[in-house]
Amino acid sequence: MPPQNPQPPPTSESSSHKGNCHCGAVRFSITLSPPLTEYPVNSCNCSICSKNGYLLVYPNTEDMKLESGQEVLKEYRFASRYVRHQFCGECGSSCFIKLPDDPVAPFIAVNVRMLEDFDPDSLTLRKPDVVDVSVVLNVGQTIIIPGEVCNPDWTSCIIWGPGANECLVGGPHLYYTLSGDTMWKIAGRLNMALDAVRCGGDSCDTAKTTNCTDGICPSGGGAEYTTNETIAAGQFIKIPMCHPSTCDIEPYTFSQGVYKDLADRYGSTVGQIQMLSPTYNYSCIANEGGTCPPIRLAKNCRLLSSNYTVLS
């Protein structure tokens, strides 16, 4: 996913600066608002910024002019390979960080150490605590995602509880539980009503039942479990399925993003993608080099008739 916009709100004042790499082959000019003396300069602690000594400001794309050196600029990408770290191919100075140009990036990150009037003592440094995406997280580790990432509307980035559907369009019929799963989370991932997932479309008591064998309840759902009870990983929960319905299934290899992005783009749900590749470890996209194995992606999930039944 694209990174959060790091630009501070502009003010009525601005400052203009010229800069160059160590050998002078790369020369540029930028305009900043607020001016540099008031600008919250980003002193990032991720692996690449720490190694390169980046101190970053983010002028609008139209406020940065590359005056010379385009032909000597080299690029380095890592992890999701989404952004381009640009450095001088002659002297090695780390100059810019650029987003993809399609669509046109709204800003460019500039290393203020390249400015001719660079004075570290005059800067206001902002030191965010960044989780390095090149480090694979341990199973069960908790990370906190700030609400600002979602620009927040609480729907586009976060699966916020169960949906309203009584059955799953296109299947599959069995859900393989993951670490930390609850019936509430499963219903949200499948965009289904909580009672439908727990009871297979049939009416049932909200209390626990004991008539389940090997994790599969005869009524077709997870009636064995209460709403927020943590379910052991590796259990099978039978999910009520809309019949007749289908999904197109095909292999898919992705290098960035999460299952929610794929579900929204291709017309399925997070739960369906997980159910088709329950043991897939997509942390491999955080490792430089190599190729991630494909997942089985559910696409274009749809009813085949307006008159459908619920298979529990």
84 and 50 in a common domain: yes
Examine the domain organization and report whether 230 and 276 are in the same domain.
Answer: yes
On whether residue 10 sits in a domain, the answer given is: no
What is d(CA 220, CA 202) in angstroms, rounded to the nearest whole number?
8
Any domain includes 190: yes
Q: What pLDDT digit, counting tens, does each position of 121-158 carry?
A: 888 888 765 544 444 455 555 555 554 444 444 444 44
Both 102 and 163 in a single domain? no
For residue 307, count other CB atoms closer than 10 A to its CB.
Answer: 6
Q: Among 93, 126, 159, which residue terminates a domain?
A: 126
Q: Which long-range contacts (CB under 8 A, 24 or more apart) does 101-107 make?
A: 104/61, 105/61, 106/5, 106/60, 106/61, 107/5, 107/6, 107/7, 107/58, 107/59, 107/60, 107/61
Looking at the DSSP bridge assignments, the partners of residue 16 are 31
**Could you count the other beta carbons within 10 Å of the beta carbon of residue 84?**
18
Whether pTM > 0.75 for this model: the answer is: no
In a domain, 275, yes or no: yes
Q: What is the CATH number of the domain that holds 99?
A: 2.170.150.70
- Per-residue pLDDT tens digits for 10-54: 899 999 999 999 999 999 999 999 999 999 998 887 778 888 889
Domain of residue 67, residue span: 15-126
What's the mean pLDDT when you consider all of the chain? 77
Contact 247, 170 (CB under 8 A): yes
**Residue 101 CA: distances (Å) to CA of 7, 61, 78, 106:** 18, 10, 17, 9
Q: 135 in a domain, yes or no?
A: no
209 and 303, same domain (yes or no): yes
pLDDT-derived band at 294 (thresholds 50, 70, 90) equals confident
**Domain count for the chain:** 2
**Alpha-carbon span 152 to 196, nearest angstrom:** 29
Domain containing 245 — which CATH number? 3.10.350.10
The last residue of one of the domains, among 64, 95, 126, is 126
Q: What is the pLDDT of residue 24?
A: 95
Percent of the chain with pLDDT over 70: 71
**With contact defined as beta carbons under 8 Å apart, do 30 and 63 qualify?**
yes
For the chain, give percent helix, strand, coil, nearest 5.
20, 25, 55
198-252 pLDDT per residue, tens: 765 443 444 444 444 444 444 445 566 777 788 888 888 888 889 999 999 998 8
Same domain, 199 and 304: yes
Last residue of one domain, picked from the residues 126, 161, 183: 126
Judgement on whether residues 181 and 118 belong to the same structural domain of the protein: no
